[in-house]
A and B are shown apart, each in its own frame.
Chain A
Amino acid sequence: MAIRGWTLAGACTLALLAAACEREERHLNEPPPKPPTQFVAQVPLQPGPTFINDTSEGPYDDNAYSASEGQVLFEQMNCSGCHSNGGGGMGPALMDDEWSYGSLPQQIFATIAEGRPNGMPSWKHRLNNQQIWQLVSYVRSLSGLTPKGARPNREDHMMVKPSPSQTPQTPQSKAKNSGLPLSSMK
């Protein structure tokens, strides 16, 4: 009984430690995660049986350092110019559950890298893969899709929105059904 108790406690500790290890890792001088190589569907509708495998784990989703660097990039690349700190404006809001081109990490990667009609620039040749994945992690944290511990804190700006670490956790399933039904597309 005591042995099981200690084993359980040990296992919990190791799990916590392992989570801590990845969350706190500083990915500095190492090759970035590969960009999505498979065809990335932008909407879920597929004729016939579903064959495209979605994974909802971004490589930097649980890495706090990357989300924080993504926050810095968001400001430096003037994403707020259209997306206004996540609230949208000329561009769509990034803090909500509506994702025109999908909320999965590789879908957001594709959106940032390739650009989208009606104004989203293509960043593929301007940012390298690591930077885009960092942005993906940050953008997903804006709507609470990444683990809470890995989301960045507030910035030293006027408080225009709760910091990502204060956003309630959103399960991927809520945002996974990316895209609006055809009938309601504007």
Chain B
Amino acid sequence: MSADAGLPVELLLSEEAIAREAAALDQTWRDKPGVWGWLTAVDHKTIGKRYIITAFLMFLAGGIEAALMRTQLARPENTLLSADKYNQLFTTHGTTMMFLFAVPIMTAMGLYLVPLMVGARSIAFPRINAFGYWTYVVGVVFLYVSLFANTGPDAGWFAYPPLSTVYSPGHRMDVWAQVVTFTEIAALVAAVNIIVTVFKLRSPGMSLNRIPLFVWAQLVVAFMIIFAMPAVATGSTLMLAEDRAINTHWFNYAEGGDVLLWQHIFWFFGHPEVYIIFLPGLGFITPIIETFARRKVFGYTALVMANVTTAFFAFGLWVHHMFATPIPELGQSLFTAASMLIAIPTGVQIFCWIATLWMGRPTFRVPLLFVMGFFFTFINGGITGVMLASVGFDKQAHDTFFVVAHLHYVLLGGGIMPLFGAFYFWFPKIVGRKLSETLGKWHFWLFLIGVNVTFFPMHILGLEGMPRRVYTYMANTGWGPLNLVATIGGYVIAISVVVFLVNVIKSWVAGELAGPNPWNSSGLEWATSSPPPPYNFTYIPVTTSRHPLWDTSVELPVMTGLRSDRREVLTTTTFDARPDHRHEHPEGSIWPMYLAGTMGVVFIGSIFSPYYVLGGLGLALIGLFMWAWNSIGEHKGPDRVLAPDALAERA
């Protein structure tokens, strides 16, 4: 190890020295107290926790919307919800789950855990991280206030024109277009942060082929966000909003526009979007399997390549959402091929995981149960996905409940089950207490049964002719019984989520205390206390293998020398993570929240008048100026190149 770094080795820092360092770091890095501190917080763990909680609240909101929809559909010609209310509910359910829950929670897990996993003191851009969170909150509040003001969007989460342009009077779809703007800005911000953190802030010695698979997944997803999100921004914030507000003709065939243009632009984003939700889920699985099977994962390189391949392929599939439209059939065939072939990298990942389990000795703690649930549920969804890739079959199944079944199997099985597993796995790290195993097992079994009872019958309903997005159906279609079964399953899912909430609340308050590494896992995040201190690590760890905490030949080596009187992080080179220079990080700041508020004025105001846009931009400019001014004030000198400091063994 010392041969790697070529530096002299000092042995055994004293307990006293470590404690002094920790106290100084705590003083430097912690958020200010009180309301002001709460508003100006830039610690990535604080922001990450807030993001996770807000996104989970959105999961609950979307779930309530789903419960209402399912109740309405339990019987034919039910009168619980009017057509208008139902349309608002299913649109809001889709928009909430896809934009306000799924992507944010996956990026939030990344924003919290990635810096810890790569051994960094902080995320790359703390203030813009805060800005992303506040922008997201503006979107959340805007959508839900609008929903309660009878202005909730009602033309589907996919908002096809001309329904969403000409035939959606009022401001409902303008609300939709701007909610997309806010969530997409927040996602882009998170993506940039993660990429730079992973490339530049890794612990010394953590070359790219040593970063954990969770981090690989987040990195790949961050790149996907950067390429996919601008498409939906162009489509909704620009084209759709403009067609509605200022009379442009993007989707007006009579003036040279094209209705299908929207579908292409939206699905160019929309297909990668589901992989943006799904790939982080895959990232959760590897550490869980490794920890509970007690062995290093089989096929690290294959898993990494599979992630990257999936991300590339994901951009070549979007037309499979448009197989029923009058576009040339030769083109459709290409997308059929791509849509089937994307199953290969995912299949490879699944085989590698099963191989790991086979060669290990699994103990069935709740996180691993959720991974088994993933196998059971996601593979079903993946196979129906391959079926839907076929144009002929898709023309029967498109826009029916078969697709609803497929999408929920892949999203719930491939995204949410690993997410719940991840919650149980990392909750001790984030909160410092373990979640209850017993309640966790109840949660798992109820959720697994609920998901399958709800969505399996929908395959049959779809093939029996039931289209999507219908507020009711005629009794003579015979769809009643299966719909009732699906509704009952939905209630079972609701109960399982309640069990989870009870578990979280009980454990947060009085759960079993967790030490730094309660699962005896291998990642760097387990090398610090639970919950981690504001500065993450007292000394930056040095990485010598893919599984730092399992490499028992040496105690975890660390690097000293970063200042503790200023917020300093260590940047390292991109490929080999050799120490490069020290960088000063900013203190807490109110300007991210201010800027998010002014962006809110700009975009929400654009619905009503161009003067709000101008005024809001003016206010935003002030915020940008003050943000930059504070940065100038904080830098006390140029970034300093690292002087060769001592590497020390931790006592």
Contacts and interface: CB of A to CB of B under 8 A. Distances in A.
A5 to B, nearest CB: 16
B171 A20 contact: yes
A153 B165 contact: yes
A57 interface: no
A20 B150 contact: yes
Interface in A20-48: 20-21, 23-26, 28
Interface in A154-183: 154-159, 162-163, 165-166
Contacts of A157: 252, 254
B148 interface: yes
Contacts of A26: 84
Q: Give the dominant DSSP class at B's interface.
A: loop
A65 interface: yes
Contacts of A110: none
B247 A156 contact: no
Contacts of A8: none
A24 B165 contact: no
Nearest to A153: B244
A24 B439 CA distance: 44
A154 B243 contact: yes
B170 A23 contact: yes
B84 A28 contact: yes
A60 to B, nearest CB: 11
A150 B84 CA distance: 18
Given A20-B171, A163-B247, A166-B246, A149 B149 contact: no
B170 A64 contact: yes
Contact of B169 (A20, A21, A64, A159): A64
Given A154-B166, A156-B254, A158-B255, A23 B171 contact: yes
Given A159-B247, A163-B247, A20 B151 contact: yes
Given A158-B254, A159-B247, A162-B247, A20 B146 contact: yes
Contacts of B167: 68
Interface residues of B, number: 29
Contacts of B145: 13, 17
A21 B247 contact: no
Given A17-B145, A17-B149, A157-B254, A24 B171 contact: yes
Nearest to A21: B150
Interface string B231-251: 000000000000111110100
Contact of A165 (B83, B84, B245, B249): B245
Contacts of B172: 24
A65 to B, nearest CB: 5
B319 to A, nearest CB: 24
B465 interface: no
A142 interface: no
Contacts of A152: 169
A139 B46 CA distance: 55
A65 B150 CA distance: 12
Contact of A154 (B82, B83, B252): B252
Interface string A117-158: 000000000000000000000000000000011101111111
Nearest to B173: A153
Contact of A24 (B149, B249, B254, B255): B149
B325 to A, nearest CB: 17
Contacts of A21: 149-150
B162 interface: yes
Nearest to B257: A156
B166 A155 contact: yes
Interface string B149-172: 111000000000010011111111
A67 interface: yes
Interface string A60-81: 0000110110000000000000
Nearest to B256: A158
Nearest to A150: B170
17 contacts: A17-B145, A20-B150, A20-B151, A20-B171, A23-B170, A24-B170, A24-B172, A65-B169, A68-B167, A148-B608, A149-B171, A153-B168, A153-B243, A153-B244, A156-B253, A156-B254, A165-B247
Interface of B: 82-84, 145-146, 148-151, 162, 165-172, 243-247, 249, 252-255, 608
Given A149-B608, A154-B247, A154-B252, 10 more contacts: A16-B149, A17-B148, A20-B146, A64-B169, A64-B170, A65-B170, A153-B166, A157-B252, A163-B247, A166-B247
